[in-house]
Amino acid sequence: METTLYAFRKDLLGSKSPVQEFVSGSESEAMGDDPSSYGPLKRTREYDVPAAIVSKPHILVADDDCDVCEAVKEVLDEGGFDTACVSNGELALAHLREQPATAVVLLDLMMPLMNGWTLFDRVRSIPQFAGIPVIVITATAAYWGYPTSQVLRKPMGRNELLSAVRSALARGRVPQAAGG
């Protein structure tokens, strides 16, 4: 389900999504779908998504704990956000490249392949993403230090999560000095 909203956004913007590529195989023939017949509002398996979804702020959650991702996604989706989840820093960077309009990143520190500290440094080193507000979501102790002052300790409450995301959105992207 994590990629469903992402796939619809890509469809609405006119490029082929992973869901369409999956559906364009033998399963689509069994389902009677013809991907070449998709109009401006693409149809995937279950329902059409109105263009209004594009205006929802896009939130990226990078956490390798699928239970945390599902819970955070559910709360944020119910709060009116377009939420995507990834399980490591490498996938988070790939997602940011595909979704440069990401409004906020929620970042776990202890992840495989690329941890949260490295991801934070990489995001800040890419001018296109450097100003995106980042909120750390972690169960680790502060003695390792946090890359940002915005930290939510796991387990966090629903209101605490929504408040932190709304606060980050209100501040918006941090302007970056010319040259990085």
Residue 25 covered by a domain:
yes
Domains identified in the chain, total number? 2
Q: Which domain holds residue 87?
A: 56-171
Q: What percent of the chain has pLDDT over 90?
A: 48
132, 104 contact by CB (below 8 A): yes
Q: What percent of the chain has pLDDT over 70?
A: 63
Q: What is the pLDDT of residues 103-160, one digit of tens each?
A: 999 999 899 998 888 999 999 999 999 999 999 998 877 666 676 778 998 989 999 9
Q: What is the pLDDT of residues 33-81, one digit of tens each?
A: 444 444 444 444 444 555 444 579 999 999 999 999 999 999 999 999 9
CA-atom Rg of the chain in angstroms = 17
Q: Same domain for 120 and 158? A: yes
